[in-house]
Amino acid sequence: MNQKFLVNNRLNYISLKFHKFMKAIILAAGIGSRLGELTKTLPKPLIDVNGKSIIERQIEVFRKAGINDIILVIGPFAEKFLFNNVKYINGKKSFSHNILYSLIEARSEMTDDIIISYGDIIFEDSIIQTILNSKNEIGLAVDLKWKEMYKNKPKNLVDKVCNVFIENNQIKKIGYKENLGESGGKTIGEFIGLAKFSKKAVSNFLEIYLELEKSHNGKFHESPSIKEGIITDMCQELIDRNYIINPIFTDGKWCEIDTVDDLKNAKILFQ
């Protein structure tokens, strides 16, 4: 039998075995109001990019990496999500909430190592492999070349970039560019919407969130309240409590699809 075939099969088996208990949670409840008519009757994560939706592309990348336990947290137009062999969590809360609470709605699935993915990003296979190869308890995928992507974009969009300040290979501060102030000599990158948590770290994450949900009042980092919080608010909370969050430096193609111009760019990047 062909030796190369045997080696490749062995590597695939090791990959599948290694990631047996890794889950992917895709936060796909976004409305996508900046996409105008395109999302009036269609969830943002189902927007078509050259024949495949954002979510379809994500599912393919995760499965290629040996991650088959995939959970979709969905919201409006839930009936339009028709993917097979994935778990659905339909978030229908009456109070105002944001992406952090969408993740919390999937807490029953947060029992193993997990990758959390925003539902409006596209990324190539190499980025997920880089994340899987990292050994951190908590790691955020970071692009150090982020400024190139925002050269011709208006200031109001640039100010909403989610930046991280990095020192000694640890993320020391995370949030919107307009709120972070001066870097103080620290390396600056962009959080691209992919995070990896070990089983232990995700347990700590949930414990702290549930504690705060009962006791915290008022503004929560960059959000009006904890229930209206975003995931980076919780990351900053963990940093403030001396948890170590490491950057996972990525060098592959990726893009966020938040505007019509973003969609045009995505169709060029991902043929």
User: What pLDDT shows up at residue 23?
Assistant: 97
Give, as one character, the DSSP assignment of residue 92: -
Neighbouring C-beta atoms of residue 97, cutoff 10 Å: 19
The two structure tokens encoding residue 188: 């600056």
- Distance, in Å, from the CA atom of 72 to the CA atom of 20, rounded to the nearest integer, reads 18
Domain-by-domain residue ranges, the chain?
3-269
d(CA 88, CA 66): 19
pLDDT score for 98: 86
CA distance 228 to 102: 10
**Which tokens go with 229?**
């919080």
List, in sequence order, every residue forming a beta bridge with 176; answer none if it has no partner: 162
Tokens of 150: 């925002």
Instruction: Give me the average pLDDT of each 10-residue run along the chain (271 residues).
Output: 43 47 93 87 95 97 97 93 95 68 95 97 97 96 91 77 95 91 85 97 98 96 94 98 98 93 94 86
Model pTM score:
0.89
Q: How far apart are CA 103 and CA 109, in angstroms?
A: 10
Tell me the CATH class for 3-269. Answer: alpha beta
Q: Are 229 and 98 in contact (CB under 8 A)?
A: yes
Contact yes or no for 194/117 (Cβ under 8 A): yes
Q: Which residue has the tokens 């807490």?
A: 107
**Which pLDDT value is given to residue 177?**
84
Q: Can you give the pLDDT at residue 148?
A: 84
Nearest CA to 105 among 86, 88, 87, 89? 89
CB 190, CB 163: distance < 8 Å: yes
What's residue 193's pLDDT? 97
173/8 Cα distance (integer angstroms): 41
3-state SS assignment for residue 185: coil
